[in-house]
Amino acid sequence: MATPKPEEISHPPMDQLQGLEYCIDSNPSWGMVTFSLILPQLHFQLHSKIHYILALGTAVMIPSFLVPLMGGTDRRKLLILKVKYLRGLSFNLHCPIQRIDIDISNIDTMIQDDKVRVVQTLLFVEGINTLLQTLFGTRLPTVIGGSYAFMVPIISIIHDSSLTTIEDPHLVGHCVEIGIPMLILFVAFSQYLKNFHTRELPILERFALLISTTVIWAYAHLLTASGAYKHRPDLTQHNCRTDRANLISSAPWIKIPYPLEWGAPTFDAGHAFGMMAAVLVSLIESTGAYKAASRLASATPPPAHVLSRGIGWQGIGILLNGLFGTLTGSSETIILDRENVGLLGSTRVGSRRVIQISAGFMIFFSMLGKFGALFASIPFPIFAAVYCVLFGLVASVGLSFLQFTNMNSMRNLFITGVALFLGFSVPEYFREYSSKALHGPTHTRAGWFDDFLNTIFFSSPTVALIVAVFLDNTLDYKDSAKDRGMPWWAKFRTFNGDGRNEEFYTLPFNLNRFFPPR
């Protein structure tokens, strides 16, 4: 066997990923997009629908967890109980409804389920925030959606003794008979069968998520119709059945979300401090997601002022979340968004235009409640299976940045290993502790202090960042600039450091005159 050449052994570092069919600025014309519903060769519209369907994951899961904790339920039942109380009737639910001397025959058309309204509002604001971010923020093909970083302070507010709550703890049910087939099918279509072509289009690779979701969704519906969940626990039925989500029946045909729909805002300094920690976590996670998205979209790493611009618009997005009452703040993080970043790598379509179309779907379907609720009835295990693949893809993209460092250095290996391990283990400890003790490890009389620390250490990216930054800037840092990859990053710190930045990150409508790059 011939001795391999040096270039055949090593792989030179590359600052842009190869193999994408459409990069960040490879945009189809609006006319092509319009006719893409008719011409099968133009599949951009399908990609935008895939991002929309994936966005439904967190848009449904976050309200499904928080709304019951806040006392939200079917308002029809609450009104019946209230009228019974006012009329001096018994609270016995078997009491004939006909005894109530008001007309409730059309109440289902007048009052919608709280969870459905929150889902619609969250999708509506997600669409607006995504359009703002892709137009005026980082301009990267990223979906801005609800963030789990806000869960800790939100739950703390819900359980505040000064507030009235109706507690109904809600955990995720187990449906391995749905999740495992979805995982297998998605991996098979996107990886093992990706070379299957129809009219020169790699249809299984490009539409792996859409096809596998449709197949497993139909399979889950067959399980539901055949009575497979008939005698299972209520929680499992709620998460696994396709007809128990109570979304379609209670969703309005047309409902346009509006600011302050849930009432005027209130202010509490302690709660605000806890939310500040959630915002800090979301900014850290978003920064990493922006860098991953730039790599998957075959763009250069965003310079500092572009990241600042994106974070500024993210702040405006969080303000909109508060005004519209979406229950959570927004971020470009996985939750909704790391999986959408991962979808860029899975489909190899990183066009900014496709993400903007998906934002349009979010806004449109959030106003057409019945149609959006149909997608929202997808069982949670389907989303969970997809996350297994896409979260892993995003993590590997982050690791790919290590190619610009010297990974033969014991110093770098130590920092990478310790940061990764603590990033996994410390948040897991906080989660397990909280699930058993019903409060975080930090538990003092100062609730705001508890919320701040528990929120910080619930986030794996945040913990890993804190550890990595501390070690990288204190451990033999003076004589290891080359090993740390600093020379490679130098040209990406300013807008003018790389000539490609103008192509990727220049603002539209000639707005650079008013906001010149630095």
Kindly write down the DSSP assignment for every residue of 426-484, as one continuous string. HHHHHHHHHHHHSS-S---S-HHHHHHHHHHHH-HHHHHHHHHHHHHTTSS-TT-TTTT
Q: Which residues pair with 201 in a beta bridge?
A: 198
Tokens of 247: 């979304």
Three-state secondary structure string covering 266-326: CCCHHHHHHHHHHHHHHHHHHHHHHHHHHHHCCCCCCCHHHHHHHHHHHHHHHHHHHHHCC
What pLDDT was estimated at residue 408?
92
Q: Which residues pair with 330 in a beta bridge?
A: 146
DSSP state of 331: E
Helices and strands counted in the chain (H then E): 22, 2
Contact 119, 377 (CB under 8 A): no
Which of helix, strand or coil describes residue 506?
A: coil
Alpha-carbon distances, residue 214 vs 16, 182, 221 (angstroms): 33, 10, 11
pLDDT by residue for the chain (518 residues), tens digit each?
Answer: 677 777 677 777 877 766 666 667 766 555 544 444 333 333 444 444 444 555 666 677 788 778 777 776 544 444 444 444 444 444 344 444 444 344 443 333 333 467 777 888 888 998 899 899 999 999 888 888 888 788 888 888 887 766 544 444 444 746 788 889 988 998 888 888 877 777 666 677 777 877 888 899 899 889 888 888 888 877 777 778 877 545 566 667 788 888 988 888 888 888 888 889 999 998 988 888 888 888 878 888 899 989 999 999 999 999 999 999 888 888 764 433 444 444 454 445 567 877 787 788 788 878 877 766 676 667 778 877 877 877 777 788 888 889 999 999 999 999 999 999 999 999 999 988 887 787 888 888 888 888 889 999 999 989 999 999 999 999 988 888 899 989 888 888 888 888 888 888 889 888 888 888 77
Length of the chain: 518
Q: Which of 306, 302, 303 is nearest to 137 (CA)?
A: 306
Contact 278, 285 (CB under 8 A): no
* CA 115 – CA 112 distance, rounded (Å): 9
* CA 191 – CA 510 distance, rounded (Å): 41
Tokens of 120: 């619609």
* CA 371 – CA 88 distance, rounded (Å): 40
Task: Look up residue 33 and give its amino acid.
Answer: V
pTM of this structure: 0.74
Phi, psi of 473 (to 5 degrees): -105, 5
